[in-house]
Structure 1
Amino acid sequence: MNTKELKEFLDEKVQQYNNPDFIESDPIQIPHQFSLKEDIEIAGFLAATIAWGNRKMIINNAHKMMDLMGNSPYDFVMNHSEDDLTHFNGFVHRTFNAEDFSFFIRSLKNIYQNHGGLENVLLPKNNADNYQLAIHNFKKIFFEIPHQPRTLKHVSDPLKGSASKRINMFLRWMVRDNSTGVDLGIWKTHSTAHLHCPLDVHTGTIARKLGILTRKQNDWKAIQELDTILREFDKEDPVKYDFALFGLGVFEKF
Structure 2
Amino acid sequence: MRAVESVKTNRPNCVEIIVVDDGSDTYPKAFLPEMNVSGVPVRVYGYKKNGGAQKARNLGIRRSKYRYIAFLDSDDAFFEKKIDIVLDSLSENPVDILFHSVKGMEKYAQLVEIWLKFFSWVIPLHWLITVFNPVVTPSLVLRRKQKLGLSLRFCEDWSYLLHYIEPNMTMKYLPENLSEVFRAVGSKGGISSAIWNMRKGEFYARSVLLKKNTFSNVIRYLFGSIFGGARILNDLIRLRYLK
Task: Specify the TM-score bucket, using the shorter chain as the normaliser.
Answer: under 0.3
Structure with greater proportional helix content: 1
TM-score (norm 2): 0.27
Structure richer in strand, relative to its length: 2
Q: TM-score of the superposition, structure 1-length normalised? A: 0.26
